[in-house]
Amino acid sequence: MTFEFDARQRKTLTAVVDTFVASVPREDDPTGFWAVKGSDLMVDAAVEQYLLAHLPEEGLAGLAQLLDTAALVGLKNQPQAVREVILANLGGITPESGLAVASLCQLSTMIAYGLMDEEGRNPLWAGMGYPGPVSAPPATPKTITAIAPTAGETLTADAVVVGSGSGGGVAAAELARAGKKVIVVEGGSYRNEADFVQNELFAYQTLFLRGGFFPSSDGMIMLAAGGTVGGGSTVNWSNSLKTPEIVRKEWAGAGLDDALGPEFDEHLNAVFARLGCNEDVALQNEPHQRLSEGAAGLGYTYRKVDLNVSPDRFDPVRSAYSGMGDQTGAKQGTMRTYLQDASDAGARLLPNTRIATVTTVDAADGTRTTTGVEGVYTDPETGAQTPVRIEAPVVVVSAGSLETPALLLRSGIGGPAVGQSLRLHPATLVSGIYDEPQNPWYGPAMSGVMNEFADADSGYGFLVESVQHLPGLFNSVVPWLGGAAHKELTAQYGNRADWVVLVKDRGTGTVTIGPDGEAVHAYPFDDELDRKHFREGIVASIRMQEAAGARRIYVAGQRFEPWTRGEDLEAFIEQVNAIPIGPGGTPVFSAHQMCSAPLGADPATSVAKPSGELHDTRGVWIADASGMPTCSGVNPMITTMALARRTATNLLAAKA
């Protein structure tokens, strides 16, 4: 039976949402910002819809009990101050109730500040000083050859590439240009510039895996990955950093002998050239300038970075939204480069298709060889499903580090190391509020990096970078100190400089499959060196914000007042260091997933040979970030593409 909230629970949920997104009467309220509450924007209905779509029955039942308890004490009939006390008390009953209340707060505020009506507006934005996105450009025709299957049809190819992101797109182009008949299968839809509407919540739902940020199975970390044609390269922030020398040494130690040689340089340089990576478009907007100033004030290194953005199409206004899909065509992700090359060379794209298994056959001598893939195509208009079978002697698995291991596990191939070494570059946010407008919605999301501590301890450390402004996500991690206090801080949105701390992790997580065959991701974040670097990155960011002149500073999710200039910074840092890491404390995010099906010489610790072909199955090759023996330590797009080009080169040499 499908779960539903009853009428009383719905009314209580509305009261909860209106507590977190409160109406706060003020005489001076020219935009109506202070008067608007969550239910005025139908946030309560959106929260209910999200919960019903994403929470399991057990979780929904527990939440219903919490709402029933709130109803018993008359939450919906109480004034704001009393409702805040009730919710605080409910959150203190058990760790689970605390997490539920915190999650409802984050979900309510994220939807409230991130939603956009049909005219591209949100009644809260004017009070934040945020002008909102610009109108969409004229429609752009789709130029990649896409197909849809026919019931009962068996497709054939020389090679099928599962995934169209930074790995799959590159592999497909290299194989197609070599004359191979290629089919690229993508689980997400084919959308291009005409479909990107700069709507944060819509982008999560349509361009990201599982509808946007979703929690690991242990709740420790929120994951975000591309789920559309072009994969992560369609929604990432264009930072184009080459694989560090220290990482290449680690890979050579794992058996990739060419990782330190000119061959890998060639792969990196070829990718850089095809993507047109350049520093000319690395505009330093106000948050980047604050990061540069903060680093300089403390003697830390900071440098501009290359971006895969065409100067001819670069638009500093629209570029700020490129993580929701780039409307300008300036971003040279795989959709505009390698996938287009593949299509021009005869490859066909099959979107909206989930591959369930890699099919194989066992020979008398015990060797296993692939015969292709099987899956299901879902019509994006009708929802009708069609079984898909593709026969091919070569399968390139490039479904991303969150899905590649699940596909291998469902197929019974890959060996014992499948999914056992997931790395995530754990990240969090540190925000500074300045006296002057920072206009974070102008300019590239990332165009510089503070890398003083990149290799702080034996090759492990952290980076600090700027971010794309995201009013929903970033206002959801503003400290919750009551409805009025939260609105006071969100009203400072235009004066914020937000920086992300990104840890090069030594510890690992896992990818397994559940009873339904779907991927299950766990990441305990229990490696002490990683946790040390996480905290050190936060502290370094706090100190840089202070050095850059921030008036107020806070860390994502803290439950106490932001630091205000003139107060004791060391005392604030001590408070921050006492916050637990993870649920109920400092939230942890990941947009970089790697190493879950690594290449290497040892079949006990790696899934594929150094060449990229599976140890235990002929004809199956790994060509995405899952194949990294250790994490890239920097934004992984370029490293992923170079590794995929290397795999494709090895594949072609083996089949010659």
Predicted local confidence at residue 499, as pLDDT? 98
With b meaning 16 or more CB within 10 Å and e meaning fewer, what string describes 180-208? bebbbbbbbbbbbbebbbbbbbbbbebbb
Range of the domain at 81: 7-128
Q: Report percent pLDDT > 70 for the chain.
A: 100
In a domain, 309, yes or no: no
Q: How far apart are CA 506 and CA 459, in angstroms?
A: 9
CA distance 250 to 597: 16
Q: Which of 587, 602, 619 is the last residue of a domain?
A: 587
pLDDT of residue 2: 79
The answer to whether 88 touches 434, Cβ cutoff 8 Å, is no
Give yes or no: residues 368 and 496 share one domain. Answer: no
Express each pLDDT in 254-296 by its tens digit.
Answer: 999 999 999 999 999 999 999 999 999 999 999 999 999 999 9
Domain-embedded: residue 297: no
> Which among 225, 218, 224, 215 has a CA at the least distance from the CA of 103?
215
Q: Tell me which of 110, 128, 146 is where a domain ends.
A: 128
Digit-coded pLDDT (tens) for 503-528: 999 999 999 999 999 999 999 999 99
375 and 491 in a single domain? The answer is: no
Instruction: For residue 307, tell me if it sits in a domain.
Output: no
pLDDT band at 134 (very low <50, low <70, confident <90, very high): confident
Indicate if 263 and 377 belong to the same structural domain.
yes
Q: Give just the sign of the alpha carbon dihedral 200, 201, 202, 208.
A: positive
pLDDT tier at 118 (50, 70, 90 boundaries)?
confident
What residue has token string 């197909």? 147
pLDDT at 431: 98
User: Is 545 strand, coil or helix?
Assistant: helix
Which band of pLDDT confidence, cut at 50, 70 and 90, is reported for residue 131? Answer: very high
Is the residue at 299 inside a domain? no
Q: Are residues 483 and 545 in the same domain?
A: yes
Give mean pLDDT, residues 178-202.
94
| Residue 392, pLDDT above cutoff 60 | yes
Residue 551 inside a domain? The answer is yes
pLDDT > 90: percent of the chain:
91
Both 416 and 372 in one domain: the answer is yes
Identify whether the C-beta of residue 627 lies closer than 8 Å to the C-beta of residue 647: yes
pLDDT(650) > 70: yes
Domain membership flag for residue 282: no
544 and 623 both lie in a single domain: no
Residue 139 domain flag = no
Residue 445 shares a structural domain with residue 373: no
- Residue among 303, 302, 306, 301 nearest 282 (CA): 306
CA distance 251 to 595: 11
Of 293, 300, 304, the closest CA to residue 452 belongs to 300
How high is the pLDDT of residue 1? 52
Q: Which residues contact 137 (CB under 8 A, 6 or more apart)?
A: 193, 194, 318, 327, 328
Q: Which residues contact 392 (CB under 8 A, 6 or more apart)?
A: 156, 157, 158, 159, 160, 183, 370, 371, 372, 373
66 and 196 within one domain: no
Final residue in a domain of this structure, among 587, 607, 624: 587
Question: Are the C-beta atoms of 211 and 204 separated by less than 8 Å?
Answer: yes
Tell whether 600 and 550 lie within a shared domain.
Answer: no
Q: Packing angle between helix 528-547 and helix 286-298, nearest 10 degrees?
A: 100
Q: Is there a single domain that holds both residue 580 and residue 598? A: no
Radius of gyration of the chain (CA): 24
Q: Which residue type is seen at 507?
A: G
Beta-carbon contacts of residue 45 (< 8 Å; ≥ 6 apart): none
How would you class 506 by CB atoms within 10 Å of its CB: exposed for 0-12, middle for 13-18, buried for 19 or more? middle
Residues 14 and 83 in one domain: yes
pTM exceeds 0.85: yes
CATH code of the domain containing 629: 3.50.50.60
Alpha carbons 90 and 103: distance in angstroms, whole number: 13
Which residues, at least 6 apart from 596, have a Cβ–Cβ distance to it below 8 Å? 401, 402, 404, 405, 418, 419, 420, 421, 422, 423, 511, 626
Per-residue model confidence as pLDDT tens digits over 67-116? 999 999 999 999 999 999 999 999 988 888 888 999 999 999 999 999 99
Residue 510 lies in a domain: no
Tell me how many domains the chain contains: 3
Region of 591 please: left (phi>0), alpha (psi -120 to 50) or beta: alpha
Query: Are residues 239 and 606 in contact, defined by beta-carbon separation less than 8 angstroms?
Result: no
Both 536 and 641 in one domain: the answer is no
- Predicted pLDDT of residue 235: 97
